[in-house]
Amino acid sequence: MSKIKNTIIQAFDNVSYPKNITLYVAQAHDNYEYDEDKKYKKNDFVGKWQDIPISHIEDCCCALSHLEPDGVRFYLPAFMLWVLDNYENQTEDISYATFSAFLTFKNKDLENFHNEQFSLFNKEQKYACAIFLKYFIDNCNAEIDYNAEVKVAEQAFKQTWCKYLTI
């Protein structure tokens, strides 16, 4: 697992802070609160993604699907590391939301949105995402209520991310 963590950290090391939609703003958008971005932005941590407080990830587990491309590239590695560190603790909401961020939906508008969200990722970042998903597919204990989140990881991997397994 440490190899996967190191790959994620290296691939996303110098990613810059998002310009518009930040973590707490995206979470507010998930709650249909679109008019007070400035208010929610005040809650956000500003700094390197590696230093995002765990409480922010836990507070904003539904934010990933509402982020713009620069936000996905900034926050997703923090979520991936959180899942790697906490998966065994029965944290389905954050794990499921993280794995779902990788899914491509059949609806053309949603497919275009998904493709746009990952449009800033370079090949090393795509590789890091692919090995993250593959790790859970290969190593997750299926006896824990056969976890829906791992099924989502498997679906996302087969749909899109398997092609990025090599750099």
Please give the model's pTM, rounded to 2 decimal places.
0.92
pLDDT over threshold 80, residue 32: yes
Which is higher by pLDDT, 96 or 141?
Answer: 96
Going by pLDDT thresholds of 50, 70 and 90, the confidence category of residue 101 is very high
126 Cβ contact partners less than 8 Å away, ≥ 6 residues apart: 118, 161, 164
Q: How far is CA 155 from CA 46, 144, 148, 158, in A?
A: 33, 19, 11, 5
Cβ 129 vs Cβ 139: under 8 Å: no
Mean predicted confidence (pLDDT) in 27-43: 94
